[in-house]
Amino acid sequence: MEKAVVPPEKKQYQEIGDDLRTQIIDGHYPVGSRLPPERNIAETYGVSRTIVREALLMLELQGTVDIRQGSGVYVMRIPEEHENEEERFLNSDVGPFEILQARQLLESNIAAFAAKMATRADIDNLRRIIEQEQRAIAADDHSQDNNKMFHLVLAGATQNQMLLATVESVWHHMDSSPLWQQFNVHIASRAYRLKWLGDRQTILAALRRRDVMGAWQAMFQHLENVKKSLLELSDEDAPDFDGYLFESVPLFQGKLV
């Protein structure tokens, strides 16, 4: 006798997104209306704003709402009651904050190891990527992903092919994740690119000094800055946060010898 196929358990942000979508379908929020502020939604469901943020991004990805920075979240269309294909696809997607937590744990330690292992050629390559991004920002050129290139070259600077392959796998997942790409649209402005450029310059400076702990801290802080920026985009009604679903976990305690 064949076993019944059990569908994957939905994550909290998916459950909340589905519930909000049902309310829109039922007429609680007509087209053009504004959803309650994130703080109110978080209090209603008893969850953090991070979960609410991912739920709203899921709806934005479906074309149901439009997230407008500094204004709110507006209903763009009434979805069909059953949009099974999209729902199955989204249920398999990993949320942006889950990805960033994994990257903090992985890439911070990679940066620390690279501070010991990087060759002069590695340092020069990282410097050239930063200079290339400076020119691209000045020209408003988005044709090359210098951010991704920097992180991959940094992973390669460990001289460990398994670490490089792992980072490549993480970036491949981000590149193929519609939810992550939808999130990334909101932090692709010139101001944010300049901010990330400054973070990478700090990382490179630590590598030049062979500063293991400094490199770890610089990478950890860079990814922390990304997370905070993503949260700030939707926290227009209050400066404080409820905390993270996937919290920052600084595990580095010792020194590489």
Q: What is the mean pLDDT of the chain?
A: 82
Three-state DSSP class for residue 173: helix
Position 142 pLDDT exceeds 90: no
β-strand 65-68 against 72-75: which pairing, if any? antiparallel
How far apart CA 154 and CA 144 sit, in angstroms, is 17
What amino acid is encoded at 134 in this protein? Q
* Segments in the chain forming alpha helices (H): 12-25, 38-45, 49-61, 84-91, 96-117, 120-138, 146-156, 161-175, 178-185, 190-208, 212-232
- Higher-pLDDT residue of 50 and 160 is 160
At residue 115, the pLDDT reads 97
How far apart CA 54 and CA 38 sit, in angstroms, is 11
Burial of 74 (0-12, 13-18, 19+ CB in 10 A): middle
Angle at 87 between CA 81 and CA 93, to 5 degrees: 160
- Higher-pLDDT residue of 185 and 75 is 75
Percent of the chain with pLDDT over 70: 81
Local confidence band at 233 (pLDDT 50, 70, 90 cut-offs): low
* Maximum C-alpha span of the chain: 65
- Interval 149-172: pLDDT, tens: 999 999 999 999 999 999 998 998
- Interval 54-107: pLDDT, tens: 888 888 878 899 888 778 899 998 887 655 444 444 444 677 778 888 899 999
Position 46 pLDDT exceeds 60: yes
Beta bridge partners of 75: 65
What amino acid is encoded at 160 in this protein? N
Please give, one letter per residue, the 3-state secondary structure of 50-108: HHHHHHHHHHHHCCCEEEECCCEEEECCCCCCCCHHHHHHHHCCCCHHHHHHHHHHHHH
Q: Is the pTM of this model over 0.75?
A: no
Return the number of other C-beta atoms located less than 10 Å from residue 243's C-beta. 9
Percent of the chain with pLDDT over 90: 47
Are 33 and 71 spatial neighbours (Cβ–Cβ below 8 Å)?
A: no
Local confidence band at 250 (pLDDT 50, 70, 90 cut-offs): low
C-alpha to C-alpha distances, 25 to 182, 185, 199, nearest whole angstrom: 23, 27, 43
